[in-house]
A and B are shown apart, each in its own frame.
Chain A
Amino acid sequence: KAGVTQTPRYLIKTRGQQVTLSCSPISGHRSVSWYQQTPGQGLQFLFEYFSETQRNKGNFPGRFSGRQFSNSRSEMNVSTLELGDSALYLCASSFGVTGGYTFGSGTRLTVV
C-alpha cells in the first residue's frame, strides 16, 4: 500500500514568487492536512481538508491556501513568498477524524 506522496521533494523559489505543493494521500483516505515545520516554530498546523471542504485552519496569513480534489489529492499554494516561508511542508492523511495520521516525507521549500 503506497504511503502519502508529496511532490516535489525540494524546491527553490525567489521572494515574491508563488509556489504550489502537491500531496497524494493513501488510497481511501479522505482527510488531508498540511503542516509547516521550521527550526524556530517547530511543527505548525496549516489547514485540513475533508471531502473537498476546508474543515480546519491554522493561524497563517491568507497567502497560504489549499484545496482538495474529488480524488482526495490536495494542493497547497503560497503566494508572494517571503524568506520566512522557507520550511519543510508536510502533508498527512487519514480515513476519518480518529486514529493516527500518516505523514508524507515533505517538501523542502527554500526561498532566496
Chain B
Amino acid sequence: DAKTTQPPSMDCAEGRAANLPCNHSTISGNEYVYWYRQIHSQGPQYIIHGLKNNETNEMASLIITEDRKSSTLILPHATLRDTAVYYCIVRVEETSGSRLTFGEGTQLTVNP
C-alpha cells in the first residue's frame, strides 16, 4: 500500500470548516483513499473513503485531486467532539483485505 504524509497537528475554531490534507504521491490506480479518526483511547472510527471522485457523507467530504496524488478531508462545521487523531490510509481493497497501514496521523484540535 502507498505511503501517506500528513501534518502532525492542526487547529480549528469551533463552527469553522476543518480541512485536513494528505499527500499520497505514489498511489496506484487501484488504491482507495480511506480516512479514520481516533478519539483518545477509543477504537478508530471509519469516516469516508473514495477512489477518484469526490465523496460526501453525513460526517465529512473527501476531495481527491485529479492526479490522485493528494486529498483533503473536510469537516464542514467542526465541533469540540471532532478533536481527534485523523488517519489517511491508501490501500488496495482486493489484496489488502482488512490490513490497514496506519501512519502517524494528524492531531486535530478544535478550539472553542
Interface residues of A in 84-111 (CB under 8 A from B): 88, 90, 92, 94, 97-106, 108
Which residues between 14 and 29 of chain B lie within 8 Å of chain A, taking CB atoms? Answer: none
Please tell me which one of the listed residues A43, A48, A106, A108 contacts residue B97 in the complex, with CB atoms under 8 A apart.
A48
The reply to whether B100 and A101 form a contact with Cβ atoms under 8 Å apart is yes
Q: Which residues of B contact A106 (CB under 8 A)?
A: 41-43
Docked complex Cα distance between A14 and B104 (Å): 30
**29 A/B residue pairs, CB under 8 Å, sorted by A:** A31-B97, A33-B98, A35-B100, A42-B102, A43-B44, A43-B102, A44-B102, A48-B97, A48-B98, A48-B99, A56-B97, A88-B41, A92-B43, A92-B44, A92-B100, A97-B98, A98-B93, A99-B49, A100-B36, A100-B46, A100-B47, A101-B46, A101-B100, A103-B44, A103-B45, A103-B46, A104-B43, A105-B43, A106-B42
A-facing mask of B81-98, CB < 8 A → 1, else 0? 000000100000110111
Query: Would you give the 0/1 interface string for A38-56, flagging 1 where the beta carbon is closer than 8 Å to chain B?
Result: 0000111100101000011
> By DSSP majority rule, is chain B's interface helix, strand, loop, or mixed?
loop
Question: Which A residues are closer than 8 A to B by beta carbons?
Answer: 4, 31, 33, 35, 42-45, 48, 50, 55-56, 58, 88, 90, 92, 94, 97-106, 108
Please, how many angstroms separate the alpha-carbon atoms of A44 and B87 in the complex?
Answer: 13
The chain A residue sitting closest to B43, CB to CB, is: A103
B93 touches A97 (CB 8 A): yes
* Residues of B contacting A90 in the complex (Cβ-Cβ under 8 angstroms): 43-44
Task: Tell me the residues in window 47-93 of chain B with beta carbons closer than 8 Å to chain A beta carbons.
Answer: 47, 49, 87, 93
Q: Are A97 and B97 in contact (CB under 8 A)?
A: yes
- Known contacts A48-B99, A103-B44, A103-B46; can you find 9 more A-B pairs with CB under 8 A? A4-B43, A35-B102, A48-B98, A50-B97, A56-B97, A90-B44, A97-B96, A105-B43, A108-B41
Instruction: Pick the residue among B47, B87, B93, B98 that contacts A56 (CB under 8 A).
Output: B98
